[in-house]
Structure 1
Amino acid sequence: MTTIRDVARVAGVSPATVSRVVNGLVGYSAETQRRVEEAVESLGYEPDSLARGLKTKQTAVIGVLAPLVSDALASEIMSGVESAARLRGYSVMLGRTGPNSTFAASYLRTLRTYRAAGVILISAAVTPDMRRALGSGIPLMSVAIRDGQRFPSLAIDDEVAAYDGTRYLIGLGHRRIGLLAGDPASVLVNTVRKRGYLRAMAEARLSPVLEDGNSLYDSAPPALARLLAQDAGLTAVFALSDEMGAAVVNELQRMGRRVPDDISVLGFDNTRTSQHVFPALSTIAQPLERMGELAVERLLATEDSVGPVPRILPHRLIERGSTTSLTT
Structure 2
Amino acid sequence: MTTIRDVARHAGVSPATVSRVVNGMPGYSSATRDRVTQAVAELGYEPDTLARGLKTMQSTMIGVLAPVVSDALASQVMSGVERAARELGYSVMLGRTGPGSEFAPGYLHTLRTYRAAGVVLISAAITADMRRVAGPKMPLISVAIRDGKQFPSLAIDDERAAYDATRHLLGLGHERIGLLAGDATSLLVNAPRERGYLRAMTEAGATPLLERGNSLYDSAPPALGRLLERDPALTAVFALSDEMGAAVVNELQRLGRRVPDDVSVLGFDDTRTAQHVHPALSTVAQPLERMGEVAVHHLLDAGNGGARILPHRLIERGSTGPARRTP
**Residue in 1 that maps onto 2:50:** 46
Give the number of aligned pairs: 292
Q: Which amino acid aligns with 2:284?
A: I
1:325 & 1:209 partners in 2: Cα distance? 19
CA contact (8 A) 2:166 2:200 kept: yes
State the Cα deviation string for residues 190-236 of structure 1 (Å, max 9, x = none): 00000000000000011100011111111111111111122111100
Q: Distance in 1 between matches of 2:310 and 2:219?
A: 28
On the 8 A contact 1:143/1:154 being kept in 2, the answer is: yes
Residue 140 of structure 1 and its aligned partner are, at CA, apart by 0.5
Match of 1:307 in 2: 305
1:14 counterpart residue number: none
Q: Structure 1: how far apart are the matches of 2:232 and 2:102?
A: 42
In 2, are the aligned partners of 1:69 and 1:123 still within 8 Å (CA)? no
Task: Tell me how far apart the structure 2 counterparts of residues 289 and 80 of structure 1 sit (CA, whole Å).
Answer: 4
Q: Give the letter aligned to residue 250 of structure 2.
A: N
TM-score by length of 1: 0.84
Which residue of 1 is the match for residue 211 of structure 2?
A: 211
Q: 1:148 to 1:69 in 2, by over 3 A?
A: farther
The reply to whether residue 325 of structure 1 matches residue 322 of structure 2 is yes
Superposed CA deviations along residues 91-119 of structure 1, whole A, max 9, x for unmatched, are: 11111111154411111111011100000
Matches within 5 A, 1:5-16: none
What amino acid does structure 1 have at the position aligned with 2:299? Answer: L
Distance of 1:282 and 1:179 partners within structure 2: 15
What is the correspondence of 1:234-253 to structure 2 with a 5 Å cutoff? 234-253=234-253
Distance (Å, rounded) in 1 between the aligned partners of 2:171 and 2:199: 15
What is the 5 A alignment of 1:126-137?
126-137=126-137
> Retained in 1: the 8 A contact 2:235–2:324?
no
Provide the rounded CA distance (Å) in 2 between the counterparts of 1:196 and 1:50.
Answer: 50
Supply the distance in 1 between the matched residues of 2:172 and 2:101 (Cα, whole angstroms).
42
Aligned CA distance change for structure 1 residues 117 and 161 (closer, same or farther; 3 Å): same
Distance 1:315 1:100, change over 3 A: closer
For the 8 Å contact 2:224–2:248, the answer to whether it is kept is yes
Counterparts of 1:74 and 1:147 in 2: how far apart (Å)?
17
Distance 1:298 1:21 in 2: 23
Q: Structure 1's 69 and 259: CA in aligned 2 closer, same or farther, altered over 3 A? A: farther
Inter-partner Cα distance in structure 2 for 1:192 and 1:244: 18
How far apart in 2 are the matches of 1:162 and 1:101? 25
Q: 1:244 to 1:314 in 2, by over 3 A?
A: same
Equivalent residue for 2:144?
144
Give yes or no for contact 1:60–1:90 (8 Å, CA) kept in 2.
Answer: yes
Partner of 2:198 in structure 1? Answer: 198
The answer (yes or no) to whether the contact 1:218–1:247 under 8 Å persists in 2 is yes
Matched-pair contact (CA < 8 Å) for 2:179–2:237: yes
Contact 2:69–2:96 (Cα < 8 Å) also in 1 = no
Q: Deviations over 1:256-303 (max 9, x none)?
A: 111111100000111111110000001111100100000001111145
Q: State the one-letter code of the partner of 2:305.
A: G
- Name the residue aligned to 1:188: 188
Partner of 2:103: 103
CA RMSD, aligned part only? 2.4
Partners of 1:70 and 1:240 in 2: CA distance:
18
Listed as ranges, the matches of 1:15-26 within 5 Å are 21=22
Distance change (3 Å), C-alpha of 1:76 and 1:52: same
- The match for 1:16 is none
Q: Percent identity?
A: 70
CA distance in 2, matches of 1:166, 1:253: 22
Q: Structure 2, unaligned stretches of length 5 or more?
A: 1-20, 26-32
Aligned equivalents of 1:296 and 1:254: distance in 2? 43
In 2: Cα distance, 1:50 partner to 1:101 partner: 31
